[in-house]
Structure 1
Amino acid sequence: MKKIISIVTPVHGQGARFLSEAYTSLRSQSLPDGWSWEWCVQEDGSDVQASAYLPDPANDPRIRISASRRGGPHVARTMAFARSTGVYVKNLDADDQLAAGTLARDIAVLEEHPAVGWTTSRAVDLLEDGSTVSFEGDPAPGRLPRGTAYGFWVEHRRPRIHPATLCVRRPLLALLGGWMALPASGDTGLLLGLDALADGWFVGDTGLVYRKHPGQITTHPHHRAGAEWEARMSLIQEHADALRAWSGLTTDANCPPGAAGWEEPDTKGPDRWRRGMHQRSGYEQA
């Protein structure tokens, strides 16, 4: 029986028109032997009609389309996760594309490093004229020790690594309840929750082509300022601080792993999710 990696895609508004390009990027992925993908497309509302934008999805059994009551993209992602079956869960928004080799790289990291709970990767912006823009400031490729994403976010109120590139072990994502149910930034909330509980891994190769267009949620005037933004940021920090305290990390953003005041938690206590993760994924108990 093949192992499954689940790709979850919320679809709403103008994003549906880009689904065929997302599908093309999925079909181009080469997976390791013994692996297959499933694409859980979640319509955010009853009027999306995602199948109209795909070339006869009934002919590809890997595509699974469903609809739920409108709740925003992060609720739709979580509903797609609820329908998925994969041991690893990968985000792909309807208007974005996976770069060649992305899924194989995510799988390789999580298979080779059982203590790593999640991966993220380099992203480039796709502009309306078809050109792409890359950015400096990514971390060095390799392991991201637990707790290291928090300090940058506290200082800048944005993550250093792109949360749209996340690939997560299923039990860890279930432990956090999926994406935070916010009108925006729910993926940032998930990233900081993952960061509080498990080491991550940054893949230095480009993993995501992130489309910039007028219809996306990040262009909304409330996305980066105002009362809604302040409430989102406050809850994301409270969520991260609670998880950090529960798992044995300090809430001091200036105290990275290994520094004075930081202590690795007892894996028999609050870090017990890790043992369950490996049991569920077929690994030896940590």
Structure 2
Amino acid sequence: MSSVSVVIPCYKYGHFLADCVSSVLDEQGDLDVRVLIIDDASPDDSAEAARKLAASDPRIEVRVHERNQGHIATYNEGLLEWADGDYLVLLSADDRLVPGALVRAAALLDAHPEVGFCYGRPLRFQHGGPLPRARTEGRGSAVYPGHWWLERRFREGTGCITSPEVVVRADLQREIGGYDPKLPHAGDIEMWMRLASHADVGHVRGADQAYYRVHGNNMSTTDFGGQLDDLRQRRVAFESVLDKCGDRLPQAERLADLVHTRLARFALRRAYRAYDRGRTDVVPVDELVEFAAECLPGFEALPEFRALRLRRRVGAKAMPYLQPLVLSAVAERGREWLWWQSWKRRGI
């Protein structure tokens, strides 16, 4: 029987712990599962809640930090120092697993030793609301070549994983090391890409694998300055993968070009949309353009920059009112260009 070590970092989330732990130990069928709760010096009663759970079940261990060490150090403590199972899960105390998720993931990893980690579909739910109905009957699995999956990430410039739905092969985790403290907000995507540079990637089909709780305390970047920080963190994450794993990636230079182009386009898109929405006073447009220039020499040739230049000519005050006319004119110009190209192809 495969064994799974589940690390649950906790900071002021003690009121979620009972539900989180129950989803790991009571809803996963016949599987050897152990849990470590690490309380990172919470100022409330989270440590007490964790100890109470441990006292009721020998499969639960608790560590309590005297001083706050931050989430990256806490992750690495659990994954690299404590976990001894065949497979590893990092599960935030405010999230939970779908029934049978670990059984499905373990079966995939058991059947495919070439797979370094697997994931499935997460279900988002609003804090305080009911859990959405989960699919628990899988439709098999898919195995993607690691380098193919990795290229998709570079091409898209973003991740496709939330986090609680991932199960990692422990031997590979120890081989590549832990989370990078230089990436407090993009450590997850960098980790998945490092894993994919060493092994194939599995995907659980049909069934949902985890619940991700949405609330005001999630580590997100919803403010406009935060969106720029998110782009910067993503850039560092992708460049970190190239630096650490470039010798394993024969097309590293092409991957770098792909992601730098994609991130430059993201930045310019956010910049020109600020004009459309009348938010140039709060969106750091100039910094977004500077970021695009840092990512991609010749960024001025991108269609997103041309869109931004047009909006600057219209002006920040007028653009929200004239947006329908501007977009209509751009669309008409695009249709004329396509018409002209069709005539050229006919030799006329």
TM-score by length of 2: 0.63
Change (3 A) 1:43 1:220: farther
**Gapped runs of 5+ residues in structure 1?**
135-139, 256-286
Partner-residue secondary structure (3-state), 2:58: coil
Q: Distance in 2 between matches of 1:51 and 1:71?
A: 15
Structure 1 contact 151–254 (Cα < 8 Å) conserved? no
Residue type of the alignment partner of 1:27: L
Per the alignment, residue 184 of structure 2 pairs with 183
Per-residue CA deviation, residues 143-179 of structure 1 (Å, 9 max, x unaligned), is 0211233334334432123333221111211122222
> CA RMSD of the aligned region, Å?
2.8
Mark the structure with the bigger radius of gyration.
Answer: 2
Change (3 A) 1:57 1:219: farther
Structure 1 contact 120–165 (Cα < 8 Å) conserved? yes
Instruction: Identify which range, 204-213 or 64-73, moves more after superposition.
Output: 64-73
Cα deviation, residue 120, structure 1: 0.9
Change (3 A) 1:99 1:67: same
Instruction: Identify which range, 67-76 or 17-26, moves more after superposition.
Output: 67-76
Q: Distance in 1 between matches of 2:98 and 2:238?
A: 31
Q: Distance in 2 between matches of 1:163 and 1:157?
A: 17
Structure 1 contact 123–208 (Cα < 8 Å) conserved? yes
| Alignment of 1:80 onto 2:82 | no
Q: Distance in 2 between matches of 1:185 and 1:248?
A: 21
Change (3 A) 1:16 1:186: farther
Change (3 A) 1:232 1:26: same
Per the alignment, residue 52 of structure 1 pairs with 48
Pairing partner for 1:43 from 39, 42, 66? 39
Partner-residue secondary structure (3-state), 1:10: strand
Partner-residue secondary structure (3-state), 2:146: coil
Change (3 A) 1:222 1:114: farther
Per the alignment, residue 27 of structure 1 pairs with 25
Q: Distance in 1 between matches of 2:62 and 2:190?
A: 26
Give identity over the alignment, percent: 21
Residue type of the alignment partner of 1:225: Q
Q: Distance in 1 between matches of 2:247 and 2:44?
A: 40
Cα deviation, residue 72, structure 1: 2.6
Partner-residue secondary structure (3-state), 1:117: strand
Q: Distance in 1 between matches of 2:256 and 2:221?
A: 32
Q: Distance in 1 between matches of 2:48 and 2:256?
A: 50
Residue type of the alignment partner of 1:168: V
Q: Distance in 1 between matches of 2:186 and 2:247?
A: 22
Per the alignment, residue 277 of structure 1 pairs with none
Cα deviation, residue 8, structure 1: 0.9
Residue type of the alignment partner of 2:75: R
Q: Distance in 2 between matches of 1:220 and 1:45?
A: 27
Structure 2 contact 105–118 (Cα < 8 Å) conserved? yes
Per the alignment, residue 241 of structure 1 pairs with 242
Per-residue CA deviation, residues 162-212 of structure 1 (Å, 9 max, x unaligned), is 333221111211122222223222111111111111101011211001000
Per the alignment, residue 204 of structure 2 pairs with 203
Instruction: Identify which range, 91-100 or 237-246, moves more after superposition.
Output: 237-246
Cα deviation, residue 5, structure 1: 0.8
Q: Distance in 1 between matches of 2:55 and 2:225?
A: 37
**Matched positions, count:** 246
Per the alignment, residue 161 of structure 2 pairs with 161
Structure 1 contact 38–62 (Cα < 8 Å) conserved? yes
Per the alignment, residue 145 of structure 2 pairs with 145
Change (3 A) 1:148 1:224: farther
Q: Which has the higher relative contact order, 1 or 2, with Cα contacts under 8 A spaced 6 or more apart?
A: 1
Change (3 A) 1:70 1:231: farther
Residue type of the alignment partner of 1:4: S
